[in-house]
């Protein structure tokens, strides 16, 4: 099994929230960024493998967040990552514990799942409108509120549901890169994100209704470094 981890940061140095802990994992760990100076400094200091994302550097956090979705959602487009059987993405603010990751991968294979995520904290009320309301408290998402309302309305009018049995958080994503549904799901997820908002949990909620077998990752995959 070939598995790698990766995280993404787009934007100027002073807006970064990355957890700068030395990488000590037995798995390769990539950092993708459109900031060459940041990429060089962090990679050399903390042992990440750098990948440059060739999109313009912006001081606008909203632009930067949207740019980061390219690497977050579409890792199969990066030649450095295509060689892996499994990829484990994490937001740059999140620390992971990958001690049991091979067991998690075996469960993913047994369930024939292309992708796995943790349940969202609002999971007892797995309605996308809870996430929409919460996102409006964050100024970087608020500017897209009209577009997001239109997107959600369009999806509901097309027969997709506001509420499912599960609602997922997209801060940690495990991908089976060889699964037949992985690329179609990822491309659809990105397309929905691009035309709606940087709140990619909402677009994932609707995109994944066209597919099956999203795996629930254990909560304890987060909170510790590896």
Domains of the chain: 3-221 (3.90.550)
Nearest to 55 by CA among 69, 75, 41: 69
Identify the pLDDT of residue 217. Answer: 93
Mean pLDDT to the nearest integer, 144-153: 87
Identify the pLDDT of residue 23. Answer: 58
Identify the pLDDT of residue 223. Answer: 57
Identify the pLDDT of residue 57. Answer: 96
Identify the pLDDT of residue 224. Answer: 45
For the chain, give the secondary structure using H, E and C.
CCEEEEEEECCCHHHCCCCCCCCCCCCCEEEEECCHHHHHHHHHHHCCEEEECCCCCCCCHHHHHHHHHHHHHCHHHCCCCCCCCEEEEECCCCCECCCCHHHHHHHHHHCCCCEEEEECCCCCCCEHHHHHHHHCCCHHHHCCHHHHHHHHHHHHHCCCCCECCCCEEEEEEEEECCCCCHHHHHHHHHHHHHHHCCCHHHHHHHHHHHCCCEEECCHHHECCCC
Classify strands 115-119 and 214-216 as parallel, antiparallel or unpaired: parallel
Identify the pLDDT of residue 226. Answer: 35
Q: Write the pLDDT tens digit of every residue in 41-55.
A: 998 888 899 999 999
Is the pLDDT at 103 greater than 50? The verdict is: yes
CB-count burial class (<10 Å; 0-12, 13-18, 19+) for 118: buried
Share of the chain above pLDDT 70, in %: 92
Q: Write the pLDDT tens digit of every residue in 162-208.
A: 999 899 999 999 999 999 999 999 999 999 998 887 789 999 999 99
Residue with tokens 């801060």: 171
Report how far residue 24's alpha carbon sits from residue 184's, in angstroms, rounded to the nearest whole number: 33
Distances (CA, A) of 132 to 58, 143, 187: 26, 13, 22
pLDDT band at 20 (very low <50, low <70, confident <90, very high): low
Distances (CA, A) of 100 to 97, 113, 219, 221: 8, 18, 12, 8
Other CB atoms within 10 A of residue 96 CB: 21
Tokens matching residue 91: 């937001």
Mean pLDDT to the nearest integer, 76-99: 90
């Amino acid at each position: 099994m070939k598995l790698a981890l990766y995280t993404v940061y787009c934007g100027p140095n002073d807006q970064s929230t990355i957890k700068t802990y030395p990488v000590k994992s037995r798995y390769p760990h990539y950092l993708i960024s459109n900031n060459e100076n940041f990429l060089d400094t962090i990679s050399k200091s903390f042992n990440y493998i750098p990948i440059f994302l060739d999109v313009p550097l912006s001081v606008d956090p909203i632009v930067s967040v949207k740019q980061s979705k390219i690497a977050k959602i579409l890792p199969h487009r990066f030649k450095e990552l295509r060689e892996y059987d499994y990829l484990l993405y994490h937001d740059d603010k999140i620390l992971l514990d990958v001690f049991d990751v091979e067991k998690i991968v075996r469960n993913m294979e047994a369930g024939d799942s292309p992708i796995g995520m943790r349940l969202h904290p609002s999971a007892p009320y797995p309605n996308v409108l809870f996430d929409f309301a919460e996102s409006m408290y964050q100024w970087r998402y608020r500017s897209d509120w009209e577009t997001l309302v239109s997107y959600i309305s369009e999806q509901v009018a097309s027969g997709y549901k506001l509420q499912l049995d599960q609602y997922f958080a997209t801060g940690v994503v495990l991908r089976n890169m060889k699964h037949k549904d992985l690329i179609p799901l990822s491309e659809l997820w990105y397309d929905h994100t691009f035309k709606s908002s940087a709140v990619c949990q909402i677009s994932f909620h609707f995109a994944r209704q066209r597919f099956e077998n999203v795996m629930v990752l254990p909560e304890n995959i987060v909170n510790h470094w590896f």
